[in-house]
Structure 1
Amino acid sequence: DIKQDRYYKHSYIKTLVCVASGFYPDHVEVSWKVNEEPRKKRVSTDLIAQRSGTTYTISSRLVVDEDEWTDPNNCFNCIVNFYNGKTMQIILEKSVALKVSKAQDKYLKITQNAKLSYVVFIVKGAVYGLFVAFLVWKIQVGIKLHCTRLNNV
């Protein structure tokens, strides 16, 4: 199973955790692929599998940057190989990718449009306010000039 580590939920890095359990004996190797390319950097795998009753459990962590995690084109694979005494065979291959649903995508577009509309309304209101202030000032200056001319006559 692959999960995103909750500790890093609001961080700029994300940790994916792969847990393989229920195998015996403990002859396993865990590896990661990102978009079908092997990934060895920023990978941390348990040195030994932990025994739980008659079976074993092992975990591996892959640390990725938030930009890599949120790219919908990226796919992360955890592969667990088991040595059966003769050959290595894949016993687990799980994939995870961040999928944005159509509803989420629509919501994001609506909120972005709403933000843009508010900015336009605020700018428009500010320009209108400046225009009205200019007119009031112009009228007051005109009245003062008119009164000054009347007093001079």
Structure 2
Amino acid sequence: MARGYDDDRVVVIERDESSNGIGMLLLGLAVGAGAALLFAPASGQETRERISREARRAGRRVRDLTDEFGEKVADSVERARSSVDDRVTRARSAVQTRVDAVNEAVDAGREAAAQARVDLEQAVADTKRAYTDGRRAYNDRVRRHADDLTPNADQRADENPTEG
């Protein structure tokens, strides 16, 4: 039996981080198995055993790569979920901050409007009071002046009986 070179064979698989890694591995295995069958200087039994051994190795490697790929996908999904959750939390916080600011502005506007109304009502009341006081003062002054003029008119009529 010729045992020598196939037991010490080293298979180098180049890792490609893209999604074609598993497909390329399977293609490489198929090409390698075909080439081994064509160029094998071994008997049929040895060739079947070698193919069986290589198939088991390839199966383990495919399982390992599948597990690794699954872990990477799970990690990527978890990172994406965490990132989305973080962004949603930040967006909600920013929206809430703006809502609070708008509510504060609305409240301040209402308070300012209420104070302006109170100030306006006070100004109207003060103006009415000033108008009423001014009108009374004017009327009092007119009456006093009229009273001052009336005795003089009576006195003049008494002094000049022909005038009047």
Query: TM-score normalised to the size of structure 2?
Result: 0.37
- Which structure carries more helix by proportion? 2
Query: TM-score normalised to the size of structure 1?
Result: 0.40
